[in-house]
């Protein structure tokens, strides 16, 4: 097994120890699996808490810090964190202004965050929730009822995080998060399968010369298998799948996201094709982000996320952020 690990059983704990050593601005509780910004709780500020299975880094722990999340709860690889983690995180960051749970639409995440919200409210913490379900590839999957939550999670956490850092109240931060999710659509393509430490091999069979069109971030099947395509052809098909679902009337944020094993040389080339398609379709682009942000371990491939923004959402997107995985303006 060609993986830079000790044993599969300690992968997450080892990564959290390394994260703590690299980022003293965070408080990393390795035993209880909670990552918190060191200055939390911040008086008068709504706290944002998210989490999910490990293997998608920098999502979510890498997005903890000023301008984004207050805390994150990493589960085992591709496995939801448990309610105790979420309640512990909420208690650590709640200043009395309330906590917003950002939940990707995967069944385990939804059930555990729902339970955690009830437990946190029993402890006197005001909790609001927003569900991220941006993937247009399939309606239901191995992991979800409804659309999967993917790249728009970054947009929700960044924009709602900026609103929270400005001191906006919980109901407004929640409304902003919902608006971002409703304005976002994503589509992904896998060029190879990912390898989980526990399995030690590919999680699904993808024959040589084929790609998975509409793949999920856990390797869930997409719409179909297709023969390998050029970057230009993939961009045409992926962007069109999004535009078939929504017609942007405002400028969009564009996320060209690597799945973990695709180098930036290829991602920037793919972005050039995505931008070409958007120009041809008359879609104005406000900002573009390219890189590995919502990954699937060592999967080769990419996803495209578009989010329509007005002046207020764009202002919040541009607001300063300082996290391990996203940083500008500070």
pLDDT tens-place values along the chain, 330 residues long? 789 999 999 999 999 999 999 999 999 999 999 999 999 999 999 999 999 999 999 999 999 999 999 999 999 999 999 999 999 999 999 999 999 999 999 999 999 999 999 999 999 999 999 999 999 998 877 778 899 999 999 999 999 999 999 999 999 999 999 999 999 999 999 999 999 999 888 888 899 999 999 999 999 899 999 999 999 999 999 999 999 999 999 999 999 999 999 999 999 999 999 999 999 999 999 999 999 999 999 999 999 999 999 999 999 999 999 999 999 997
Compute φ and ψ for 277, nearest 5 degrees. -60, -45
pLDDT of residue 201: 85
218 is catalytic: yes
**CA atoms of 223 and 92, how far apart (whole Å):** 41
pLDDT of residue 202: 87
Tokens 């929700």 locate to 156
Give me the catalytic one of 54, 98, 218, 256: 218
56 is catalytic: yes
Angle value at C-alpha 80, between 77 and 81, nearest 5 degrees: 100
pLDDT of residue 119: 98
**CA atoms of 6 and 123, how far apart (whole Å):** 39
pLDDT of residue 270: 99
Tokens 């979800």 locate to 144
Give me the catalytic one of 23, 37, 45, 56: 56
pLDDT of residue 175: 98
pLDDT of residue 141: 75
pLDDT of residue 162: 98
- The helix (run of H) or strand (run of E) holding residue 74 is strand 71-77
10 DSSP assignment: G
pLDDT of residue 83: 98
pLDDT of residue 308: 98
Angle value at C-alpha 231, between 228 and 237, nearest 5 degrees: 80
pLDDT of residue 15: 98
């Amino acid at each position: 097994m060609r993986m830079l690990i000790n044993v599969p059983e300690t992968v997450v704990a080892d990564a959290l120890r390394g994260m703590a050593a690299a980022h003293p601005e965070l408080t990393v509780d390795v035993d209880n699996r909670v990552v918190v910004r060191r200055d939390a709780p911040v008086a008068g500020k709504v706290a944002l808490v998210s989490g999910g299975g490990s293997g998608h880094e920098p999502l979510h722990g890498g997005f903890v810090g000023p301008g984004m999340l207050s805390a994150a709860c990493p589960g085992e690889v591709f496995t939801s964190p448990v309610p105790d983690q979420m309640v512990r995180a909420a208690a650590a960051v709640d200043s009395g202004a309330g906590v917003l749970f950002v939940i990707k639409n995967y069944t385990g995440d939804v059930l555990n965050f729902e339970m955690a919200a009830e437990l946190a409210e029993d402890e006197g913490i005001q909790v609001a929730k927003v569900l991220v379900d941006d993937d247009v590839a399939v309606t239901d999957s191995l992991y979800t009822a409804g659309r999967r939550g993917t790249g728009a999670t970054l947009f929700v956490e960044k924009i709602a995080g900026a609103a929270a850092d400005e001191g906006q109240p919980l109901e407004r931060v929640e409304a902003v998060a919902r608006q971002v999710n409703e304005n976002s659509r994503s589509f992904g393509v896998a060029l190879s399968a990912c390898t989980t430490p526990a399995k030690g091999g590919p999680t699904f069979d993808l024959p040589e010369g084929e790609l998975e069109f509409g793949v999920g971030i856990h390797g869930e099947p997409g719409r179909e298998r297709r023969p390998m395509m050029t970057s230009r052809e993939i961009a045409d098909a992926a962007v069109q799948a999004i535009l078939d679902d929504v017609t942007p009337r405002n400028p969009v944020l564009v996320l060209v996201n690597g799945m973990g094993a695709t180098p930036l040389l290829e991602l920037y080339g793919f972005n050039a094709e995505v931008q070409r398609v958007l120009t041809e379709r008359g879609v104005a682009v406000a900002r573009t982000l390219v890189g590995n942000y919502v990954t699937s371990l060592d999967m080769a491939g990419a996803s495209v996320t578009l989010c329509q923004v007005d002046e207020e959402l764009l202002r919040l997107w541009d607001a300063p952020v300082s996290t391990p995985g996203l940083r500008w303006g500070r």
